[in-house]
Structure 1
Amino acid sequence: MTKKLNISVNDVPRQLYNPCSIMELLVLLEQPEKGVAVAINTNIICRSQWRQYQLQENDQVVVFKAIAGG
């Protein structure tokens, strides 16, 4: 039996199949891998961790365009 996972992405509730990595979420959202940043519960997650980082129940995910500044 597959378990459902309730999260929010940019303040929009979503239901996913568990387990789901950040990379899998980006594919579902049709987001490019490059040019975006991801925060989970206000913590930015390094791109190198996206494949292994597993989303948890009630995670608050923010996907935003990464910009360089100075």
Structure 2
Amino acid sequence: MDITVNHKTYVVDEACSVEQLLGLVLRQEAKGIAVAINQNIVAKTDWSVHTLRQGDQVILITATQGG
């Protein structure tokens, strides 16, 4: 199934969780990241159980330091 992450399309397994998607897209540990799916924030505690659906629009927001 196709999932869009930050305007780039990825093909993932049918039973893909947010956590699995992050491993596929980032290929590293997801630290300092917020995830929104279809404009709704998904709590980090739900990443392993939130299953993605065909056509979901995922936005990854990375925390940056500055001032």
Q: TM-score, normalised by structure 2?
A: 0.85
Q: How many residues align?
A: 64
Q: Which runs of 5+ in 2 are unaligned?
A: none
Equivalent residue, structure 1, for 2:60:
63
What is the identity percentage for the equivalent residue pairs of Structure 1 and Structure 2? 38
Q: Which runs of 5+ in 1 are unaligned?
A: none
**Aligned equivalents of 1:14, 1:58: Cα separation in 2:** 10
**Matching of residues 22-61 of structure 1 within 5 Å:** 22-29=18-25, 30-61=27-58
Greater strand content: 1
4+ residue segments displaced more than 4 Å: none
User: Does 2:17 correspond to 1:18?
Assistant: no
When the two chains are superposed, the root-mean-square deviation of aligned CA atoms in Å is: 1.5
Deviation per residue, 1:23-64 (Å, 9 max, x gap) = 001111114322101000000100000000000010000111
